[in-house]
Structure 1
């Protein structure tokens, strides 16, 4: 905790010559504008890797808990590269290109999970390269796919998992998702598009020209949705022909969980990023658990991030391993039945 605080203070120019006295450093951090604190924290996490976290150093001992309804939101633009775009650009303009390089290297390593599993990283590279036109090459392909991978791994899939967890415990969970639109090119990239809709940015005179009439109607609907949730704990009646879009999450086991898609139609959809989350939850978990310590996981050394896999050996090893694993499991099951 203190090391992170000192690193943050050094980034913001709050470190004094006497490191044993935390008073001046704490006072400086407390007086720093919140947007600067947030930018510095994001930068430090980007360089150190997304498996680091800013968290309370002591667990709350309070025994007072209250049941509340939850509204969870995600966006197609939640990738870590998109989130830190301004930070990377600023570092490059300041001549600190090494920070940008470290940022990409940290994210690339993160695809292998907290343990840096080389096979999982290669499987993720293969999986996300399928989302793009194969004619797009090199760095741009890597950047886009890495952005999508980190979006699913660190933002969307954990959010879906959290929603399922609380829904299973009887909590009222309302989930929405902001799909990709053309408006993000004109909107302020510092603020997520769903947040701009929520606070009515498209309706404000100074910014309304950056958005379409459809965006303005959607913003009003999203504001109504959020306002109703805050006041009543449930979503309002939105949509056409009396369609009731409450956004309540479907309980696990009955069907893929539903969510409200923040598009002009404001429709319920099912199974948010279902294939990608299955990849991380099932294939990813099995790779990191069943192959722990296996010689096939050893990396050949530092590798340049490249989603156009030059060698299919590791990918073949992945499927060979799972074919062997499945056959071995079936054989063991059959033997147990006979006994």
Structure 2
């Protein structure tokens, strides 16, 4: 989204002043400001979780100025990607971080990285972890490097925690020196996380060189990943069902699936519809046209019902948000 800097600056000032003097506004103005803030937060959060940071920043400005700590942290993330501010403390990023940190936003405190902020982040995370909060356990593992926080998180059965523990065993085999036991534990953890529909675990079973998944399992995991709404899952599933190569320099990956053009079209069309006007997938429009040309009348008639079923599955799939965690600023 391209917003003229002068327009954005004036809008920023106006909204800041409205929030500052909200108590003295007329009731209709208060209502309008609240509705603007809530609608902007919903849109901005959705864009943010799709990693469309340029667009998200505009919408998150409104709840951020209204004092929403999560939106303020989101604004810091957006500016971080735009300015490269994950390594250098640009004032714009730090300003939003300080606003969020003032409201005890733990990830903002961790990112600020000074000793006082880190001490507070640890104390807040310890209190929340005692109440069973998984992200707080992750935070404590990051802050203390105490492996028991990961095992505690995994003991809850949380899919993110199960997969994180499996990854940690892979990266640090010394945590479980017995190679046979370690391999078996990693397998169990990855399977449990994937069975819960956790997208990163499903992708790991499909694409990781370390995956032990059979072709039959991969067929099942591919459908599961597509049904979460994961972009790579939808594309891989659609191309596999169409028996077409995503990369024209390599053979098609079909995973042994029977060719099913209506299902392939529905999966790829879903992804096209949600990205065509923002971040179109290269070659996808041409692929859809090719598949449509190959389908007969019966195939075309079957597509709407398949599209409806797919949309329903994606809408009901568990949603996982993976916050970006930064601890302090690197001098390099």
TM-score by length of 1: 0.24
The structure with the largest helix share of the pair is 2
The structure with the largest strand share of the pair is 1
TM-score by length of 2: 0.25
> Which structure has the higher relative contact order (CA within 8 Å, separation 6+)?
1
